[in-house]
């Protein structure tokens, strides 16, 4: 697999949902977070209205932290 870069669109699996965002596994050993502000341009009351645990979705890579193996993701432009 090619190295994931910022602005890439990648397929992820939603593994958890909290009030502040959704967690995802990526096609590498990194963890991803879609912050609630990156779900939609409109007001998001309930993240589960947009994604649910187990969903396979596409997300845009916003930032990559190689040291912590974390990636910030967005779905509001997809």
What is this structure's pTM?
0.92
pLDDT digits (tens, 9 = 90+) for 20-76: 999 999 978 899 999 999 999 999 999 999 999 999 999 999 999 999 999 999 999
Q: In sequence order, what DSSP letters do the residues of 23-73 get, joined into one string?
A: EEE-SSS-EEEEEGGGT-SS--S-GGGT--TT-EEEEEEEEEETTTTEEEE
């Amino acid at each position: 697999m090619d190295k994931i870069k910022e602005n890439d669109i990648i397929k992820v699996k939603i593994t958890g949902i909290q009030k502040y965002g959704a967690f995802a596994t990526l096609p590498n050993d990194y963890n991803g977070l879609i912050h609630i502000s990156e779900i939609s341009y409109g007001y998001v009351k309930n993240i589960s209205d947009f994604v649910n645990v187990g969903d396979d979705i596409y997300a845009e890579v916003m930032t990559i932290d190689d040291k912590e193996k974390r990636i910030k993701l967005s779905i509001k432009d997809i």
